[in-house]
A and B are shown apart, each in its own frame.
Chain A
Amino acid sequence: MHPKRTDKIATGIIYTVVFAVVAILVFLIGYILVNGVPDINWHFLTSQAQSFSAGGGIRDQLFNSLYLLVLTLIISFPIAMGAGIYLAEYAKDNWITDIIRTSIEVLSSLPSVVVGLFGYLLLVNQLNMGFSILSGAIALTFFNLPLLTRNIEESLNSVPGLQKEAGISLGLSDWKTITKIIVPEALPGILTGVILSSGRVFGEAAALIYTAGQSAPSVSYTNWNIFDPSSFLNPMRPAETLAVHIWKVNTEAVTPDAHAISSGSSAVLIIVILIFNLGARFIGNHIYKKMTAAK
């Protein structure tokens, strides 16, 4: 009966560990929400930030964060998708692939500060893009790419080989097999990856301080001309995101209500990510059902 007892003990330990982790997480999120939610109100969400008087809001920062996320995904997702498909389907098992994998891992382990400074020197200065949302989005792409690629590759690899064989035996081309069979099957996994990396993009501050900048000039939300500097859609304007705002408020701000702003912003950040997660999950399931025969 010894193995059975070991089994029981091990299961017990695992339950304890899971409980501990959940406790930590619940505590953390609870701490942020309890501290922050009382500070959130309509005024906080819809007014402009103040530099040194109380009562500032986070309207522009919140929008900037979302806009930056969308831009980053637009740039990085197709590239990561292509690279992921390459690694999962085309790459041969040789030293070239090895080098490619290693370099992707290296890219992912770069500290975000370094990515930010690289972006600052290359995009902001050399390419003359200035402190802008686009610079920020490209800088975030740098470190979003490896995570996303890796995840897509793994999701694709976890699709049983049978599916691929079935596709090919039906006379489908490689590309058709990949796009019509393997990718839809791997979609939930890919979406999880996108969500995970979006979370990081959303919370990233260090890489953005030097690329997207730390100021949020007032923009007009009725100006839809993306080439106009005052338009909210203009990707060439500087934009302070929510995470950068939290950092700034905490480190240098002289606003009397800095604490309320930072805890409120943190709570908003968490809530937005929560909404985003649930939404993406819902859409993911929907697409999965639509693209495959699964019910």
Chain B
Amino acid sequence: MKKKNIISAILLFGAFIAVLTGCSNSKSSSSSSDSNASGKITAVGSTALQPLVEKAASNFQKDNSKISITVQGGGSGTGLSQVQDGSVAIGNSDIFAESKDGIDAKKLVDHKVAVVGMAPVVNKETGVKNLTMDQLKKIFTGKITNWKDVGGKDQEITVVNRAEGSGTRATFEDAVLGGDKAVKSQEQDSNGTVQKIVESTPGAISYLAFSYINDKVQAVSINDVKPTDANVETNDWPIWSYEHMYTKGEAKDATAKFLKYMDSSAVQKDLVGKMGYISIHDMKVQKDAKGTVSNK
């Protein structure tokens, strides 16, 4: 009797799962069968890029009501592995697919949609507004530990780094550390939290995307170059990276249409700037996956 019950329980659970899969399968097949002007696009990945894509998607859908676009966060790593598996159409990433282990970049097609500049930020109390590249490097590798050594007041430096493997950190380390290892310190994975921590912790230093820099934290110039969009466009400000939207193979149908829209002036001139990003069209230089910068 008891055994019978257990078996029936297992069967029931199986049936439950089967019904669920059945439901969802029928749904997805029905939506993907009619292609061309309609379809379902899922874009997953970088949380930093998410708001831009979301907004662009909702504008796009006003003219293309048959295409439904879902935008999700999850991080660049998730985005890249998902698009590589083919489970989503677009993988959003802050980082070149080439620089991620476990991703076969040859299978993916890169669509650069925006440029993001990043700048070191410090707590306002430190009294530091400018650093040389060398000082910055020494701070993040733990060789300088007091603000008085770089012209600030006598206060210990608290380094707040970004999560290992995040696009922001990779960009920063490429541009500043030049292959050296960062000192072990606090790590945070989101711009918002870093902003709050730097704002409230005496002696804190970290780095933020331009759009998150406000008047509560002090952005630092490097070698007297100010972190501005104009300086990024000419590469005078070296800490910047692309925002990528990857597809597996060439984009088709609805996806291609959407990516074309992302590159159109409607998005590039208006939305990108509003988000605090720099339009890909305004860049006078380009960077490849190895970090080599050349004139466009």
Given A52-B274, A229-B68, A258-B192, check contact A128 B51 (CB 8 Å): no
- Write out the residue numbers on chain A whose beta carbons fall within 8 Å of the beta carbon of B51: 51-52, 252-254
- Write out the residue numbers on chain B whose beta carbons fall within 8 Å of the beta carbon of A253: 51, 192
Distance A53 CA – B42 CA, assembled complex (angstroms): 24
Contacts beyond the supplied A125-B87, A249-B192, A252-B47: 16 A-B pairs with Cβ under 8 Å:
A52-B55, A125-B85, A127-B24, A130-B70, A134-B20, A209-B73, A213-B72, A214-B73, A229-B68, A236-B24, A251-B193, A252-B191, A253-B192, A254-B51, A254-B275, A258-B192
Distance A52 CA – B74 CA, assembled complex (angstroms): 19
B27 near A236 with CB under 8 A, answer yes
The secondary-structure label for the interface of chain A is loop
- Write out the residue numbers on chain A whose beta carbons fall within 8 Å of the beta carbon of B55: 51-52
For residue B292, CB closer than 8 A to chain A, the reply is: no
Interface size class of B (residues with CB under 8 A): 35 or more
The secondary-structure label for the interface of chain B is helix
* Chain B residue at minimal CB-CB distance from A135: B24
Distance A163 CA – B161 CA, assembled complex (angstroms): 62
B276 near A254 with CB under 8 A, answer yes
- Write out the residue numbers on chain B whose beta carbons fall within 8 Å of the beta carbon of A143: none
B58 near A218 with CB under 8 A, answer yes
8 closest pairs, A vs B, by CB? A251-B190, A51-B51, A251-B192, A129-B24, A214-B73, A252-B47, A51-B55, A128-B24
For residue A210, CB closer than 8 A to chain B, the reply is: yes
Q: Which of B1-15 contact A (CB under 8 A)?
A: none
Distance A32 CA – B238 CA, assembled complex (angstroms): 42
Max chain A CB contacts within 10 Å: which of B69, B73, B211? Answer: B73
* Chain B residue at minimal CB-CB distance from A210: B74
A254 near B68 with CB under 8 A, answer no
* B10 CB → nearest A CB, Å: 15
For residue B261, CB closer than 8 A to chain A, the reply is: no
* B243 CB → nearest A CB, Å: 13
A214 near B274 with CB under 8 A, answer no
Instruction: Spell out B's residues near A (CB within 8 Å).
Output: 17, 20-21, 24-25, 27-28, 31, 42, 47-48, 50-52, 54-55, 58, 68-74, 85, 87, 189-193, 211-212, 274-276
For residue A199, CB closer than 8 A to chain B, the reply is: no
* Chain B residue at minimal CB-CB distance from A250: B192
Query: Beta-carbon contacts of A247-289 to B below 8 Å, as 1s and 0s?
Result: 0111111100010000000000000000000000000000000
Max chain B CB contacts within 10 Å: which of A131, A134, A238? Answer: A131
The 29 sampled A-B contact pairs (Cβ below 8 Å) are A51-B52, A51-B55, A52-B51, A52-B55, A52-B274, A127-B17, A128-B28, A130-B24, A131-B70, A131-B72, A213-B70, A213-B72, A214-B50, A214-B72, A214-B73, A215-B50, A215-B72, A217-B69, A218-B58, A229-B31, A229-B68, A238-B70, A249-B192, A251-B189, A252-B191, A252-B192, A254-B51, A254-B211, A254-B276
- Write out the residue numbers on chain B whose beta carbons fall within 8 Å of the beta carbon of A209: 73-74
- Write out the residue numbers on chain A whose beta carbons fall within 8 Å of the beta carbon of B191: 251-252
- Write out the residue numbers on chain B whose beta carbons fall within 8 Å of the beta carbon of A125: 85, 87
- Write out the residue numbers on chain B whose beta carbons fall within 8 Å of the beta carbon of A251: 47, 189-193
Distance A52 CA – B191 CA, assembled complex (angstroms): 15
| Contact of A127 (CB < 8 Å), options: B20, B47, B275, B276 | B20
* A146 CB → nearest B CB, Å: 17
Max chain B CB contacts within 10 Å: which of A129, A215, A238? Answer: A215
- Write out the residue numbers on chain A whose beta carbons fall within 8 Å of the beta carbon of B70: 130-131, 213, 215, 217, 238
- Write out the residue numbers on chain A whose beta carbons fall within 8 Å of the beta carbon of B68: 217, 229
* A279 CB → nearest B CB, Å: 30
Distance A249 CA – B195 CA, assembled complex (angstroms): 13
Distance A258 CA – B216 CA, assembled complex (angstroms): 14
Distance A129 CA – B25 CA, assembled complex (angstroms): 8
- Write out the residue numbers on chain B whose beta carbons fall within 8 Å of the beta carbon of A131: 42, 70, 72
| Contact of A130 (CB < 8 Å), options: B17, B28, B73, B192 | B28
* A128 CB → nearest B CB, Å: 5
- Write out the residue numbers on chain B whose beta carbons fall within 8 Å of the beta carbon of A218: 58
Distance A217 CA – B42 CA, assembled complex (angstroms): 12
- Write out the residue numbers on chain B whose beta carbons fall within 8 Å of the beta carbon of A53: 274
- Write out the residue numbers on chain A whose beta carbons fall within 8 Å of the beta carbon of B50: 214-215, 252
A238 near B72 with CB under 8 A, answer yes
- Write out the residue numbers on chain B whose beta carbons fall within 8 Å of the beta carbon of A52: 51, 55, 274-275
